[in-house]
Amino acid sequence: MTASASKSAMIELFRNELELCGVGPGQKVAVLSQGSQLRQYATAFLAAARDLGAEAEDVNVPGSDSADAAQRLRALGENALSAHPEAMQACLSADLVVDHLLLLFSKEQLAIQKADTRILTVVEPFEVLERLFPHQELRKRVEAAEGRLKRARELRFTNALGTDVTFNLGRWPVLTEYGFTDTPGRWDHWPGGFLATLANDRGVSGRVVMAPGDIIYPLKKFVESPIEFLIRDGYVTQIGGAASADELRNYMESYNDSRAYAVSHIGWGLNERCLWDVDLPGIGMDGRAHYGNVLFSLGPDTEFGGTNDTSCHLDLPMKGCTLYLDGELIVQNGHLVPEDMRVEGR
């Protein structure tokens, strides 16, 4: 593919994405980037938004050009926007912010959403964006899952290695990701395809045993030997196991922050196009949104309205689990059960 062909392919894909986001005449799109990071994306989004008749503003804040998305994901909640009020103002006054900065888990993101501005985060490599391009049917299935999770008061999941953990629900919102957003104040991430919520305060207890082949993000590594988390009142009290457990313990200890051991979001994946592969480029949405996974997480909860803003954020997708909402079977050995969440043949 020539450079110009790939540029036009990018603009076309981004135009399709912005159409899913309801962008057209009368809409203002702020495209947020930092330094030269993802400048090619920013330029293509600006062109795509203008193609659709929208007003598009290039909001480029100065800053480090080196950190890739995977590195920035390890320092979530910190970003350059707080030092640039004029850039923040441009975001607040837009209908849609295309975020190449990874604002996730920051107070700036929450303020932008409060202003009824929708936010679409786009930081993944182009091949991932292309392969996992979202569609309305994915949204429908994620929203079907959202309806059930919002009503549920108890989530329990198990696996063959002895996981049996219960989350009491009802206090916190449900966060959905289906890869686009046309709803004022709503954040999404392209690519997506999962949902998550938090347990009530201190409302998680039990045991989670990750199996060999489960994934540790942001490390982008498969578990090699079982890792057992004992959980009491919302906190991991003990991490047992051999080499993989040692590695994880060391990683968490390096943050020197007891809040790293808080249980964070819980949910499951619905994206049938995702691959179970830690060697793919990017931050690893394939594992997080993988069809039929259970996504268990430790660390911050500010995205849901909580106060834990620890920088140690672990997303731990697990395969082959069984998950119940108020006793109703939702995922059985890694397969989605309810008709309105399932994909034919999966």
SS3 of residue 303 by DSSP? helix
Closest approach, Cβ 66 to Fe ion, in A, equals 24
Show the site string, 207-246: x = touches Fe ion by CB under 5 A, - = not. ----------------------------------------
Closest approach, Cβ 102 to Fe ion, in A, equals 13
Identify which of residues 176 and 297 has a Cβ nearer to Fe ion in the complex: 297
Region from 27-35, 54-62, 218-226, 294-302 binding Fe ion, contact rule CB under 5 A: 294-302
Show the site string, 245-284: x = touches Fe ion by CB under 5 A, - = not. ----------------------------------------
Identify which of residues 61 and 314 has a Cβ nearer to Fe ion in the complex: 314
Whose CA is closest to 299, among 205, 229, 225, 236?
Answer: 236
Site residue total, Fe ion (CB under 5 A): 2
DSSP states of 225-254? S-EEEEEETTEEEEEEESHHHHHHHHHHHT
Whose CA is closest to 137, among 335, 259, 284, 273?
Answer: 273
Closest approach, Cβ 300 to Fe ion, in A, equals 8
Q: In what order do the strands lie in the sheet with 28-34?
A: 55-61, 28-34, 96-99, 118-121, 187-189
Whose CA is closest to 213, among 117, 131, 287, 282?
Answer: 287
Closest approach, Cβ 161 to Fe ion, in A, equals 22
* Per CB under 5 A, 176 contacts Fe ion: no
Region from 2-10, 144-152, 249-257, 290-298 binding Fe ion, contact rule CB under 5 A: 290-298
CB-based contacts of 135: which residues, under 8 Å, 6+ apart? none
> In which residue are the tokens 């395809």 written?
193
Q: In what order do the strands lie in the sheet with 194-197?
A: 175-177, 194-197, 263-269, 294-298, 314-318
Closest approach, Cβ 218 to Fe ion, in A, equals 9
| Cβ(321)–Cβ(227) below 8 Å | no
Show the site string, 90-129: x = touches Fe ion by CB under 5 A, - = not. ----------------------------------------
* Per CB under 5 A, 309 contacts Fe ion: no
| Cβ(136)–Cβ(144) below 8 Å | no
* Per CB under 5 A, 297 contacts Fe ion: yes
**Binders of Fe ion in range 33-62 (CB under 5 A):** none
Identify which of residues 126 and 276 has a Cβ nearer to Fe ion in the complex: 276
* Per CB under 5 A, 310 contacts Fe ion: no
CA distance 241 to 207: 13
Q: How many CB atoms lie within 10 A of CB 338?
A: 15
Region from 20-28, 147-155, 244-252, 309-317 binding Fe ion, contact rule CB under 5 A: 309-317
Residue 136 DSSP class: H
Closest approach, Cβ 85 to Fe ion, in A, equals 29
* Per CB under 5 A, 315 contacts Fe ion: yes
Identify which of residues 27 and 79 has a Cβ nearer to Fe ion in the complex: 79
Question: Where does residue 328 rank: exposed (0-12), middle (13-18), buried (19+ CB within 10 A)?
Answer: exposed
Closest approach, Cβ 90 to Fe ion, in A, equals 28
Chain positions contacting Fe ion, by CB under 5 A: 297, 315
